[in-house]
Amino acid sequence: MLDINFIRDNLNIVKDAITKKHLKVDLDELVRLDDERRKKQQAVDALREEQNTVSRNVATAETPAIRQQLITEMKSLKIDLQQHEEDLKKIMIDWQTRMLQVPNVPDLSVPEGKTDEENQSIKKWGDVTTFNFTPKDHIELMTSLNMLDLDRGVKVHGFRGYFLRGAGARLSFALWQYALDFFTKRGFEFMIPPMIVRKENFYGTGHLPNDAEDLYMTQDDDYLTGTAEVPVMGFHRNDILDKNELPKKYLGFSACFRREAGSYGKDTKGIYRIQEFYKFEQVVLCEASHETSVLFHEEITKNAEDFIQTLGLPYQVVLNCGGDLGLGQVKKYDIEVWVPTAKKYRESHSSSYFHDFQTRRFNIRYKDADGKMRFAHSLNNTAVATPRILISLVENFQQADGSILVPEVLRQYMGTDIIR
């Protein structure tokens, strides 16, 4: 959430941000409503002060007649105040709804564009894998090795259901164990957060209200989390952090649930676009400095790149265009790993920073060196998501006989160097 004063003072900048992110937000109506909110708040404050004054005068009234006159005046003021408070409450509901729709301002380096097809490749690592045989896709490979069962997954779960079994399940655990060791060695505190989360946390991260159709809701109006970012950010809700303890660096692990609404007809086969999966997420809280946010953005992106490099997977980094940014994101990189049978790179990681957009909603603050209260800055990045990463891993490491080499860094966790 942006500060309303920032919005009013930088109206054209925020309007440009709305245009760049290809959103529809009536900023002029928000400002008009904010004017109404301020006037009504002033009226309410004035009536409350007047009521307090009359109340004090009742206590010191010189005669019963004067006291009765003041009591009558108080009753009239009370009725008037209640009406103004009710009007203010209605205005506030509309004002808050509109405030939640205002996007963060993208960094100047964010390119123009409407969809992910207009993201810009800025880096490639590794040579794309070539074979002297016809490679199999991940479905054929994993099914033939009893690593994956999609038919029974659909039977039990429904559309997009899957079972990981045998070496497929163990390969996921190997990746989790390796990720835990890898990222905690880089200073991240491991955390397993709740996966059923109150809705205010989704408003805090910016996933609500816009992503509502992609979330699973419980009968108690809570939600199943689609990323550990949401509960990990909620961990410090309403906290005042010690500046000397910044940055806070967390590695959150959770099951994730997404309805994949709006993806009808996309990736209907395999385990790329599924409704339940597991993910490690890097989450960082740092000082309220653009330069500091940029440094940590590059750091957490490099962490993910280094992780992929140790697995030996070719990848590219893309800079997301304005239309492919979320509501709160200032800047975002996607990391896309090479999928041989698709003959293209496909997204496996994303890395974003938000300035104080999320922390303002969560009310996460700290005192700076001058004793001034500031909202911290927040960042997040995928450490590894399974089973999606398995697609690239098994396809790139397949052998002519249908077996799969296990990347060297995972062998100690798998207990084998090849899956047959």
Residues involved in catalysis: 258, 273, 347, 350, 388
Q: What is the DSSP letter of 383?
A: E
358, 380 Cβ separation under 8 angstroms = no
User: What SS3 state is found at 170?
Assistant: helix
User: What SS3 state is found at 226?
Assistant: coil
223, 283 Cβ separation under 8 angstroms = no
* Half-sphere exposure (Cβ direction) of 284: Cα atoms closer than 13 Å: 31
254, 193 Cβ separation under 8 angstroms = yes
How many of the other CB atoms lie within 10 Å of CB of 233? 27
Residue 274 backbone class (left: φ over 0; alpha: ψ -120 to 50; beta: rest): beta
Enter the tokens of residue 53.
């004054």
Report DSSP letters for 127-169, one per residue.
PPP--SS-PPPHHHHHHHTTSEEHHHHHHHT-TT--EE-THHH
The Cα–Cα gap between 300 and 283 comes to 9
Where do we find the tokens 């995928």? Answer: 382
Report DSSP letters for 187-225, one per residue.
TPEEE---SEE-HHHHHHHT-TTTTGGGSEE-TTS-EE-
